[in-house]
Amino acid sequence: MKKILLTAALFLACFGGFAQAQEFKDDVKKLVRMTIDTRSMYTAKMGLTYDLEGEEKEKVTKDYDAIVMEYLGAFESYYLSKYTHAEVKEMISFYESPAGKKIIKDKKDLSNNKFPKGKEWDTKLDEINKKY
């Protein structure tokens, strides 16, 4: 009887650990989707496949999707290795707040170099690169 109870306890502990690990992975996936502009990835895919048809379009789409999944997976692995589940939950809470939503919106403009100082910075870096 003790063996049955011990086995059941170990099974439940393992199952509970798996469920927690899966919840952590799901939260990390959510965080990555919140912080990375996947709409621009979709737009890029549409541009790549716009003039293609049939099997060729399917092949390009499949290859592109695989690259995107690898890219997003690298971010997920990074978050899983660097942060605790509690920290990821805090980040999600922040990014769901009004201030977090504003940062995400503004981040797109900053990364697309719409911020005036960013353009200035790029120009100066190009000058240095050409100089040396």
- SS3 of 62-107: HHHHHHHHHHHHHHHHHHHHHCCHHHHHHHHHHHHCHHHHHHHHHH
Alpha-carbon span 31 to 114, nearest angstrom = 24
Residues of the chain where predicted confidence (pLDDT) is lower than 50: 15
Give the per-residue pLDDT at 126. 83
d(CA 94, CA 69): 25
- pLDDT of 100 reads 93
Dist. CA 127–CA 132, nearest whole Å: 9
| pLDDT for the residue 130 | 84
- What pLDDT is recorded for position 46? 85
Structure confidence at residue 10 (pLDDT): 56
- What was the pLDDT predicted at 118? 62
